[in-house]
A and B are shown apart, each in its own frame.
Chain A
Amino acid sequence: MNTADSMAVAPPASTGLGKRRTQLIHRIVAYGVLGTGSVFILAPLVWMLSTSLKTRSQVFRFPPEWIPEQFLWQNYVEALTLLPFEIFLLNTVIITGLSVAGELVSSAVVAYAFARLRWAARNTLFIVVLATMMLPRQVTLIPTFILFTRVFGWKDTFYPLIVPSFFAVPFFVFLLRQFYMTLPFELDDAATIDGCSKFGVFLRILLPLSKPALAAVAIFSFQFHWNDFFYPLIYLFDKDKFTLALGLRFFQGNYGTDWHYLMAASLVVMLPVILVFFFAQRIFIQGVVYQGFK
């Protein structure tokens, strides 16, 4: 995998010794820059953790300390009690869970129609799918808001946040279709000869083989809905309906300078995404990379 790597930037040299030396220099520069960069990347998160464990007076001490005298884990309990955490968490889990399920199922089904079935308008419509991938959501924002709140009467409900998920996401359709295309058609033929219907091929052959792609879709979807702020902001008003993202903002309004509480609560909200990332980073990064090579 890395045969070309060192040559990508290392200058050539006429002698093997000179080449080795330039490679060494390159490596030292790479370690230096990347190491320094890592410090800058991690410092905000360490700072966040450090702040979340301090007392209020320690937070405003100058110069600040990186490691607090004692770790006030109690801050987490207090911050989460100030925020009706269980309610926000439950709301977020409901919305995220149903949205992920809806996007996964609908996108997998639609992608199969575009990858394996022959029907009249397929190729034209696939171009439309690609075009809508690039479409910024603002163009449809206001009419859909009016449709959901005025026509369907879904104001202050979870429906506007969940229902659209069941109508497939263009990017996921694209990603899954590309993945299905890599699976050999001979599998379909063999199953068909064994008496499997076209839908059976999808259900029994393609879906089980697509687990990595489905996992990537599920992770992207989870990440988006968990972090989503804009849609809950415009559709949810009653505090009992708030998601964690909305709740954090509400918390900011009330405890704006209680940084230790704010950081504790923010860290808790981030935690599920961080955990998913660490446990599934291979799938995650592969999915992202895939996205980069359309």
Chain B
Amino acid sequence: MLSGLTFRRREAILGWVMASPWLLGFLAFTLGPMIASLILSLYDWDLISPALLVGWGNYREFFVDDPLSLHSLRITLFYSLMAIPLHLVLGVILAMLLNANIRGQSVIRTVYYLPAVLAGVAVAMLWRWIFSPDFGLLNLFLSYFNIEGPNWLGNRTWVLPSFVIMSLWGVGGGMVIYLAGLQGIPTDLYEAVEIDGATAFRRIWHITLPMLSPVIFFQLIMGVISSMQIFTQAFIMTDGGPANASLFYMLYLYRQAFEYRNMGYASVLAWILFLCILALTLLLFRTASAWVYYEAETQRT
């Protein structure tokens, strides 16, 4: 018994030791900075002169005095509102098509997934060239249909749709996940409705989509988190222009923090972004019980 106790104690010690890299990292690079960021948001600090306590001043600036803060938030939300549903619908449709017993499934999957692994500056460069008004690929394609394409990235109306189009190039990332979800749906469910003689629409509506809903839910949340944090594309392709029409929130935060050195105000921006993402995520969770179907709760033992 005594040896058993020491054995368990040894195991507990080893547990703490092996978890310590994460635990230390969490305290030093997550929890500590989060608290520090809250405190910093009450100060004006440019990293050089002494920090000045301004209380709620930075928050007032965000909501009242600074026209760009809410503007950049609106831009980012507007983009998300266009991009996330499109990714969802296209991703599910493509996955359903690919889920048919067709030859070359893995080749098509590879092709569609390829853009999703590419990211960063190189991709932004490529799309800047594709959107080029006179010699770019997109307007070349449109000219085949006698359509004169706009100056995509230089036009205030078209600049956000341009970012949406570019993001849709990576639609295969979601498609692969939906495809795996479809392949996990048990066959007997379809056999059951087939006996009932259900139409294709009813089959999709009553079986495929409910069974896929946990995956859709997860993808929606990841979509919110990632589209609210868009930075590199905007920084490289437009730098917020024209006339701030593509001033994504993270780009504005970057400017405040690392170009203007307003560390306090940038902390406010960071916290508000975090709260926005949290609010949207919680909102999705609140709606989840109405439309997300968890098989495990009702069927599996």
Contacts and interface: CB of A to CB of B under 8 A. Distances in A.
> Would you call the interface of chain A mostly helix, strand, loop, or mixed?
helix
Interface string B61-90: 000000000000000000000000000000
A205 interface: no
Given A48-B126, A118-B8, A266-B125, A4 B190 contact: yes
A117 B18 contact: yes
Interface size class on chain A is 35 or more
Interface in B102-143: 102, 105, 108-115, 117-123, 125-127, 129-130, 132, 134-135, 137, 140-141, 143
A267 B129 CA distance: 13
Contact of B177 (A30, A143, A292): A292
A136 B271 contact: no
A138 B123 CA distance: 23
Given A30-B98, A141-B257, A113 B19 contact: yes
Given A5-B183, A9-B204, A285-B109, A138 B120 contact: no
A4 B121 contact: no
A33 B21 contact: no
A288 B178 CA distance: 11
A239 interface: no
B101 A6 contact: yes
A246 B140 CA distance: 30
Given A41-B115, A117-B12, A7 B19 contact: no
Contacts of A267: 122
A288 B130 contact: no
Nearest to B117: A277
A114 B271 CA distance: 30
B100 A26 contact: yes
Contacts of A259: 129, 132, 135
Contacts of A41: 111-112, 114-115, 169, 172
Nearest to B107: A38
B29 A122 contact: no
Contacts, number: 319
B134 to A, nearest CB: 7
A164 B30 CA distance: 11
Nearest to B8: A118
Interface stretch (A67-75, A93-101, A209-217, A222-230): A222-230
Contact of A30 (B22, B100, B197): B100
Contacts of B25: 106, 164, 166-168
Contacts of A193: none
Contacts of B288: none
Given A138-B250, A167-B24, 4 more contacts: A27-B101, A30-B98, A41-B114, A281-B113
